[in-house]
Structure 1
Amino acid sequence: MRETELKILFPTERLDALRFFIGKKELTVEQELKDYLDKTYERIVPANVREYVENRLDQTPTQEEASEQEAQESQPEPQRERQSRQSRRQREQTAAEAAPAPESQTEDAAPTEEENQGMSMSI
């Protein structure tokens, strides 16, 4: 759930006195204000609107996950392609490390593309 910060002006001397006495009750000004806003919200906002808002709040995490997935899908093609190439390279490198090196290759033969990738990734 997104939250919005509220700022109000209040005389400093009064706030200091309020904090002193509210602290004796092991409370905070912020929590008392939040409780007051919650009660005011319930008193002023009609029940059917509160129900609608609560339903939207319950759906927010699911929508955020969907938005993240859509954002990834809407990335420019080169960026998505780069990510898929990187995944493919990682799979190829893992497979190359797991498989024994072919003995038929001579020492003076040019390195394969896969070996070049492995060298560049180790830097």
Structure 2
Amino acid sequence: MRETELKILFPTEKLDALRFFMGKKELTVEQELKDYLDKTYEKVVPVHVREYVESKLDQASLQEETSEQRAQEQQPEPQRERQSRQTRRQREQAVAESASLSPQARQPEPPEEPEESQGMSMSM
């Protein structure tokens, strides 16, 4: 999906204060603005137009995935493995970043299970 960068003017002192206090709540100005734009889009753009736009986005992402798969199939095996590991790392980073951005969405991590011993164990 293509994205467009928006630029607005805002007093630097106000932005610094906003970032300071949002940082205490583990929020970012950028994410809050994006959330607000998404809500405004849903509020203002009629449902049938949103459905049309989303169908176009779905088609574009499907075409993009198909072309990526074709490109990967033509690559040598080691390079494909490297790319799949890289994309897995990128996905893990994205999940970690999104979790750090929205503390409400955090879920407690399950306790780590003790590692099983590789050696022999004896019991009496």
The sequence identity of aligned pairs, in percent, is 82
SS in 2 for 1:8: coil
For 2:5 and 2:32, the matched residues in 1 are separated by 15
SS in 2 for 1:36: helix
For 1:33 and 1:63, the matched residues in 2 are separated by 29
Report what 1:58 is aligned to.
58
Tell me the TM-score normalized by structure 1: 0.51
For 1:46 and 1:7, the matched residues in 2 are separated by 25
Any idea what the Cα deviations from partners look like across 1:77-110, whole Å, max 9, x if unmatched? xxxxxxxxxxxxxxxxxxxxxxxxxxxxxxxxxx
Report what 1:24 is aligned to.
24
Report what 2:40 is aligned to.
40
For 1:62 and 1:24, the matched residues in 2 are separated by 39
For 1:66 and 1:22, the matched residues in 2 are separated by 40
Name which one, 1 or 2, has greater alpha-carbon Rg.
Answer: 1
* Higher RCO structure, 1 or 2 (CA under 8 Å, sep 6+): 2
**Cα displacement (A) at 1:65:** 7.2
For 1:13 and 1:57, the matched residues in 2 are separated by 38
For 2:5 and 2:56, the matched residues in 1 are separated by 20
Runs of 4+ in 1 over 2 A off after TM superposition: 61-67
**Cα displacement (A) at 1:43:** 0.3
How well do the aligned residues superpose, as a CA RMSD in angstroms?
1.9
Which amino acid in structure 2 is aligned with residue 4 of structure 1?
T
For 1:66 and 1:38, the matched residues in 2 are separated by 28
Report what 1:93 is aligned to.
none
Please, which runs of 5 or more residues in structure 1 have no aligned partner? 68-123
Any idea what the Cα deviations from partners look like across 1:30-54, whole Å, max 9, x if unmatched? 0000000000000000000000000
